[in-house]
Structure 1
Amino acid sequence: MGKPKFDPPTNTFPYKIAKRLNILSVPRKYIIDTGEGMPAYTPRGIRKSALNSQLSDRVHDVSWPYLRRFLILKKTYKQRFNEERLERIDRMIEAANATCYSKLANCVIDLKKQDTKDVKKKKGWTESEWKKHMDYISQIAGPKRDFRPPPAKRGQSKPLEALLPRLMQISSRPMFKIYKRLSQETWYRNPEKVAPKALKYVISDRVKKLAVARVVPQPGAFD
């Protein structure tokens, strides 16, 4: 018989336990259990499992402070720190220079020159660039534009008696178009009635010839 897939229920846990759950319930090796179900901590509040872990290069590079802080520290305490401590700060600056983050931020420091390598530093402007710059400065330095609408221009004043005819005209009800039947229109012609001139019309031979129906050949007539 093979190994059962479930562990039988016990008095403390009256359910079947799957084999997969038993495998997942085993703690990993790098987790140090104190016996109470929680990982162990040092007096400073650091996990003991974190002290035994291997530090990746990315985390090591990110852990270095900004180069600007190193420079401020060195400049501020240059007269107070001894040579050994200043040399240690220089070594930390060299180590921080080697990280990819310092190179991407373009803030690599040369300790011999004591300046920052600014690769993207702009060159001197040409005459055309200065002209464009000064034109823009003169444009934005002018007074702000007043976007308020201009005052309305009104004509000469008139007495009310002169305006009454126009007021009565625009206040009257408009005359709507009345749609009539076709039979009530003046241009309508009843198709049932024959015009008097049509009764006096004399038909020609040509019209008689065209009025004769054409002989349509039937299928199978020429077989």
Structure 2
Amino acid sequence: MGKYLGMDHPTASFPYTIPKRLNALSRPRRGFIEASDGPGYTQSGIRKSALNGQPSDRVNDIAWPWLRRLILVKKMYRNKFDQERLEKLDRMIEASNATLYSKLAHCTVDLKKPQEGKEIKKKKGWSESDWKKHMDYLAMVAAPKREFQPPPVKRGKSVPLEALLPRIKEISSPADFKCYRRQSKEVWYKDPIKVQPAALKYQITDRTKKLAAPRSLHEG
């Protein structure tokens, strides 16, 4: 690589052009020590940089257990854990409650309010007016259902059977269906190919003869 931040032209040993950008990126940072043996590992095979690295705040926040699980654990083992362990569990609940992920999931809890021993409101008994409304409703529901009869059918004036017999006989007789046949069998049919007899006896007029005579055309 070149000593200046410029472009290196191809040489006999390296027949490629090295741009200015690669020369700038190839310069080592301050305090960087290049080791020939590569990154260091412990005897168990863990990279030393992984042990010395510091996680970001996002990784620390997401590493905390779910807030609801911590609260359930505290309720289940509050009579079995000692005071020191319960205080440690309270600190874990506070840390998990303050994370960004708990706020985004809308599962944060107001720790200042007492979570245990809430006062249970007793149900208020019914008054006389409530019982009266309830009994009126039961009487309305217990009433038999109303039957809705269909409206009567409006019919015409009645006629004796003897007056209807002629029409009944007419309707009961089978209908006369039209028998279709060829057009050539019809009376009004005219054969387009056959010459009519009247045309053979036709006598042309003088006017027709005059029009049928050929005209003389001018020569040239």
TM-score class normalised by the smaller sequence: 0.3 to 0.5
- Give the structure-2-normalised TM-score: 0.37
Higher relative contact order (CA 8 A, sep 6+): 2
> Highest CA radius of gyration, 1 or 2?
2
